[in-house]
Amino acid sequence: MKSSAVSIFVLIFISVTAPAWANDSEYGNHSGSPAPVKNDAITMTSEDIVITARTDGYWDVSATYVFTNTTDKDVALTMGFPEIAGDPGKEFLKFKTLVRGEPVKLAVKKSAPFLKKGSEPLGRVHLFEVTFKPNEVVTIQHDYQMEGGGSVAVAIEKTVQYVTRTGAMWKGPIGRATFTINTREVYEIIAWSPEFNFKSLTRNVLQKGVTTGMSLVLENTNWTPQGDLAVDLMSDEGFLRGKAVGGDCPELKITDYSAYRKAKGKERLQYFEVSSMDEFDSDRLRLCRNWRYARYGYTFKDTTLNKRFYGKVYTGKYPPHAVNMEGFDGVERKMAPLMPDPGFTPAMLNEEDLFYLKALRTEERRRREAKDAN
């Protein structure tokens, strides 16, 4: 049976400021270098992308793709993962590929730039050969490490990017695309490109005041990518809290940060204070106090609080500090909702939470007693 020769590449884009990856796409040649083309024979049945933060600041990436040859002919492919052209030291580490569960030989060459509006040129590309039998379903897995990213915008601590627009080059829509981001820290806000659908968010807590990480899962089905995935990880709780409680809350402040850092245990409490509560009515104080519990997934006996705090995916411009800044008004993002956690225990509350809760309870009690006295 005669084989049809097709060149195909899996795009994994890496930016200098943040880790970034991308969907598979088919490539042909342009001036002797690979360049993207439309594929009308192979469909992407599914993709499972798992990006996990490491203790050394790098990210482990595992990308598993399932492809289907929709023709009754052999299709011979040259597949590869390109890298964004950038500084030395930003290349993939420990890169390996399995096809049908077996390791394949890799070659590294320079890719065509593949420049599009807002994109960066490609650099090296990791190449390997695959031949699909008629109507065959093939699983391809890539595992490697990448250097972690840092701040790329106001209030954003880390951004994970995955260039998905190239997935539109396969035949038909992608059957299912699942993206899992595993962090080693807890972030008050996890925001992402609005094209992607929220599936779940979980936390892991091992001991009082120490949360070991979060897992965000996004999933699209029967999907033709229009843009790229960007996941912003932030520790600024004010925006999401404001959405949940309907406005501002009293703020917890540290009066002497240098002394606070040197203090240990309960000694640190003397450096906490809560800002004035005079401008907040009792209903707002109640919501602000319970927000502290909702952050950890506490299931309230008052069902109206569960309805207010949990399960809402917020959409808006982010980061909020950039909105109305000259020349930049933020980017459209979805924001992960708070979710009830059946495993909640009081041990999840740290010393800051406990101080804040006590301060608000004391003020609420003072107001009740004053009202009763009148």
Reported as type and span, the H/E element at residue 307 is helix 303-309
Reported as type and span, the H/E element at residue 292 is helix 282-294
Q: Convert the pLDDT of each residue in 33-84 to its tens digit.
A: 544 557 789 999 999 999 998 888 888 989 999 999 999 999 988 877 777 6
Gap between the Cα atoms of 209 and 367, Å rounded: 30
Angle, to 10 degrees, between the axis of helix 351-373 and the axis of helix 282-294?
A: 160
Q: Is the pLDDT of residue 295 over 80?
A: yes
When computed from its CA atoms, the radius of gyration of the chain, rounded to whole angstroms, is 25
Gap between the Cα atoms of 250 and 277, Å rounded: 6
Domain segments of the chain as ranges? 4-234, 238-373
Position 360 confidence tier, pLDDT thresholds 50, 70, 90: very high
Q: Please give the mean pLDDT across all residues of the chain.
A: 79
- Per the CB < 8 A criterion, the answer to whether 69 and 134 are in contact is yes
- Report which DSSP code applies to 338: B
Instruction: Give me the architecture of the 4-234 domain, per CATH.
Output: Sandwich (2.60)
| 314-318, strands of its sheet edge to edge | 20-22, 158-163, 229-234, 189-192, 331-335, 314-318
Question: What pLDDT was estimated at residue 350?
Answer: 85
Q: Does residue 319 have a cis bond before it (omega within 30 degrees)?
A: yes
Residue 241: phi and psi, rounded to 5, are -60, -45
Question: What pLDDT was estimated at residue 173?
Answer: 95
Q: Convert the pLDDT of each residue in 119-135 to its tens digit.
A: 566 677 788 889 999 99
Gap between the Cα atoms of 74 and 56, Å rounded: 44
| DSSP 3-state of 128 | strand
Say which residue, 149 or 230, is predicted with more confidence: 230
Gap between the Cα atoms of 352 and 374, Å rounded: 34
Position 223 confidence tier, pLDDT thresholds 50, 70, 90: very high
Gap between the Cα atoms of 309 and 221, Å rounded: 27
Residue 4: phi and psi, rounded to 5, are -100, 125
- Per the CB < 8 A criterion, the answer to whether 292 and 285 are in contact is no
- Per the CB < 8 A criterion, the answer to whether 113 and 121 are in contact is yes
Q: Amino acid identity of 215?
A: S
Q: What is the pTM of this model?
A: 0.74
